[in-house]
Amino acid sequence: MKANKTACNVTVIGAGPYGLAAAAYLRAAGVEKRVFGEPMSFWANQMPAGMCLRSSWDASHIADPKREFTLDAYRDQNGNHIGKPIPLDRFVGYGQWFQRKTVPDLEQRHVRSVDLDPQGFKVSMTDGEEFVSKRVVLAAGINTFTERPAEFAGVPSSLASHTTEQSDLKKFKGKLVVVIGGGQSALESAALLKEAGVETEVIARHGNLNWVGLHSKLHHLGLLSRLMYSKCDVGPAGISRLVAAPHLFRNLPREIQDRTAYRAIRPAGAGWLQPRLTGVPITLGRKVISVAASDTRLRLKLDDGSERVVDHALLATGFRVDVSRYGFLAPSVLQRLQTVNGYPVLKRGLESSIPGLHFLGKPAAWSFGPLLCFVSGTEFAANELVSSLVRSNGTH
């Protein structure tokens, strides 16, 4: 495509829950925009098939201003049942339906670079188009933030892979697979492996597993439950209410923010997984300290001196935010961007230290708290973004 120099007020990069919610709010507010991405691509392509959402039904709606396009509306309009917990494939279908309803002008194209421009930002597409955008909203997800333990550096993906690299765990049938990690991704992957007839073991560095949803009665005590828990479903009693108020949360002393955030999103599995893990060996309080790879197998040495010889190591080791790993951000942008431990420092409107550059989703969690790590944070993020843009001049 021939390059051109058209102008745009707001460019949204990403079409997962945060990008779609932001686009829906921008559209309702009459803010001119362009939105790029493949709808729900991370959820559809980089999570093992058969998984379910850990979050509750009420915490899994993608936000739109009039709350017209909820999971309930999707279920009712499609005339079929959605189980609880919510199956991953049904959530992907919901997100794609949400996109068709609220962001029909989504451009399923890829951004090559975002650079500074006197009028805002120069956005260059992989197909050759270039245009200037006054603002850029990054809702680009977490795929580039995968965390791979140093011990597995250099091990080929045929022998060790992150969970985001595996969409079908059934292919490991007949092999011995060790799952590294102790959170939802690790435990549910182990359950899926077991159910596929794969011999598996979980190894986690913490001395115990944390579980959520084991005390469901606490959520059905009327006013008392509403005082303890928010519908956002992030964190235990009390903390749940705090993290649901990001402006309050961000004004707490940093030490309290960090401690509370960890308590809210520490590695944990959903209580409904427990019976599915019956018979799966789970080794706790141990860490892999060295890995030796042959052509077909791995030898893992643990910090207690024991060893495992396996066909594959599945790394359910989470994500570490570092926005410099967004490959489309030009060096000039990264040099001016204020960050802390890889997170952008954000102010009102989820705006970074570079005026007009906004971050949504997990990269916003250092500034606004752990709510921004979950689908339930889309309402706050989209409303905060658009309210800020509408207050400023020249966004329409």
Domain containing 357 — which CATH number?
3.50.50.60
Do both 46 and 118 map to the same domain? yes
Do both 386 and 238 map to the same domain? no
189 within some domain: yes
Do both 261 and 132 map to the same domain? no
What gap in Å lies between CA 41 and CA 36, rounded to an integer?
12
Q: How many domains does the chain have?
A: 3
Which of 200, 231, 265 corresponds to the end of one domain? Answer: 265
Which secondary-structure segment (H or E) carries 390? helix 378-391
Do both 178 and 260 map to the same domain? no
Do both 34 and 112 map to the same domain? yes
Q: What is the pLDDT of residue 204?
A: 98
In this structure, are residues 147 and 322 in contact, taking their beta carbons and an 8 Å threshold? no
Angle between helices 378-391 and 17-28 (to 10 degrees): 40
Do both 36 and 139 map to the same domain? yes
Full domain range(s) for residue 327? 6-145+320-391
Do both 50 and 98 map to the same domain? yes
Residue 218 CA from chain centroid, whole number: 27
Q: What is the pLDDT of residue 236?
A: 82
Do both 99 and 187 map to the same domain? no
What gap in Å lies between CA 73 and CA 100, rounded to an integer?
14
Do both 32 and 125 map to the same domain? yes
Do both 287 and 202 map to the same domain? yes
Which of 254, 284, 315 corresponds to the end of one domain? Answer: 315
Digits of tens for pLDDT over the chain (396 positions)? 444 467 899 999 999 999 999 999 999 999 999 999 999 999 999 999 999 999 999 999 999 999 999 999 999 998 878 989 999 999 999 999 999 999 999 999 999 999 999 999 999 999 999 999 999 999 999 999 999 999 999 999 999 999 999 999 999 999 999 999 999 999 999 999 999 999 999 999 999 999 987 666 565 556 666 666 788 889 888 888 999 999 999 999 999 999 999 999 999 999 999 999 999 999 999 999 999 998 899 999 999 999 999 999 999 999 999 999 999 999 999 999 999 999 999 999 999 999 999 999 999 999 999 999 999 999 999 999 999 998 876 544
Beta bridge partners of 120: 117
Angle between helices 71-78 and 88-102 (to 10 degrees): 90
50 within some domain: yes
The string of DSSP codes covering 37-77 is: S-TTHHHHHSS-TT-B-SS-STT-PPP-TT--S-HHHHHHH
Do both 173 and 61 map to the same domain? no
Do both 178 and 72 map to the same domain? no
Q: Output the CA torsion sign for 343, 347, 349, 351.
A: negative
Backbone conformation region of residue 147, classed left if phi is above 0, alpha if psi is from -120 to 50, else beta:
beta
396 within some domain: no
